Amino acid sequence: MRLVRLRWSFVFAGLASASLLFACKQSHVIASECSTPDACVPAVTSPESMPEDRELLPFDSDRVGTIDIIDLLLVVDDGPDMAEEQARLSRAIGRLIAVLRSGDIDGAGAPEFYAVRDVRVGVLTPRPSAPFSGLASCAQLGPPRIAWSFDNAPTCLPLTEGTTDQDAGALSAPVFEVECSVRVGTAGCEYAEPLEAALRAPAPEDTEVDFGELEPLGDSENVGFLREDSLRVVLVVTNDDDCSARDASLFQGGTRRLCFEHEESLHPLMRYAEGLPKLAPSDSQRVMFFAIAGVPPDLVDESRRARFTFERGSTRNAFYDELLADPRMQARRAEGASEGEARQAPACTSSATGPAYPARRLTEVARSFGRHGLVQSSCQDDYRPAIDAFARAIARRLGTPSL
């Protein structure tokens, strides 16, 4: 068995400034010093440097399948009241990296699926594509720009309780940086466009998707993020539904609007059901879509999913039909809200994270990806079960080695 080192690429997109990465030092984001992406890959970190609860199996080239690299795009909402959701994601995302790297989901010490050699991680905030007046947090926006981090030294305080600065050096720097950097802050626009952001940021110049007066950014601002032959995985984390607007007048003025009441101003969901798979033009099956969003936990947890065979379209659709038909998933105004008060009824509420609103659009897009898509709840106390569910879906795509 051959032991090789873990190679990483790590990027940020759409962050207004490094100061939004609270609990992280400003030096964490490196903007323009990199002449080429390869020059900015963090130094290699071996599995032995991982802490005990994140130990990886030794990497074995015989366990690598036809897909051995993954480009993981984390679309993390930076709107108000997202701090706890970001912290929960931070505590769980390292597990996804470790599992993909080892091929071992259950921790039994034997690979259950083909491991990958390389994971590139990008963090994108879902701000509107065009600036608009009315809300200060939405008035000054630029194109989502990727900055490459090449400083291997941990620059963020660890989130693990009881961990000190001295302990930081023991953590795998790439995983450690990802865990910190998904905490993108809460100063972003309260109108989130995760679907449009995920589509436009990595889209190539020759894409068939029409962005109107705006340009796709995959060959300019974000050139090099998507690699040839990679499995592209999009993971959205939000406590709201998608509000990707084709008519920016929806947001003009100082009046807060509820996006679900203005469906005619939003991009149709077919734009993303068809457009996101085109991020892999040669093979649409190399794109996967996941979301941690506003859905009731009891409708998507492991015991609920066990009732359905996700490999079969008919039973998979029954899962989504039941989810979308639940009264809690109906987009509606909150009980007692006055006519001029933009207050929506939640799909679920957590004592720590607060309310999350029915993510119907995100759920429908996840459904459109078939067995390559899944939605989980942002109201879950622990995001690790959600991460495991995504890992199992990715494992099915990567295949099982002959042992």
Give the number of other Cβ atoms within 10 Å of residue 156's Cβ.
21
Cβ contact 188:137 at 8 Å: yes
Confidence of residue 130 (pLDDT cuts 50, 70, 90): low
Model pLDDT, residue 173: 52
Determine which of 207-216, 270-279, 300-309 has the lowest per-residue pLDDT on average. 207-216
How large is the average pLDDT for residues 204-211?
92
Residue ranges per structural domain of the chain = 7-398
Q: Which residues contact 254 (CB under 8 A, 6 or more apart)?
A: 134, 135
Query: Which residue, 232, 195, 201, 198, is CA-closest to 216?
Result: 201
Q: Is pLDDT larger for residue 32 or for residue 254? A: 254
- Does the structure show a pLDDT above 70 at 350? yes
How do residues 162-190 score in pLDDT, each as one tens digit? 333 333 333 355 677 788 888 888 988 88
**Tokens coding 148:** 């490459």
* 66 exposure class (CB count in 10 Å sphere: 0-12, 13-18, 19+): exposed
How do residues 70-101 score in pLDDT, each as one tens digit? 999 999 999 989 999 999 999 999 899 889 98
**Tokens coding 264:** 């005619």
Q: Read off φ and ψ for residue 353, nearest 5 degrees.
A: -95, -20
Enter the pTM of the model: 0.81
Q: What is the DSSP letter of 108?
A: S
**Tokens coding 301:** 């947890």
- Does the structure show a pLDDT above 60 at 232? yes
Model pLDDT, residue 193: 92
How large is the average pLDDT for residues 293-297?
98
Q: Tell me how long the chain is.
A: 403
Confidence of residue 18 (pLDDT cuts 50, 70, 90): very low
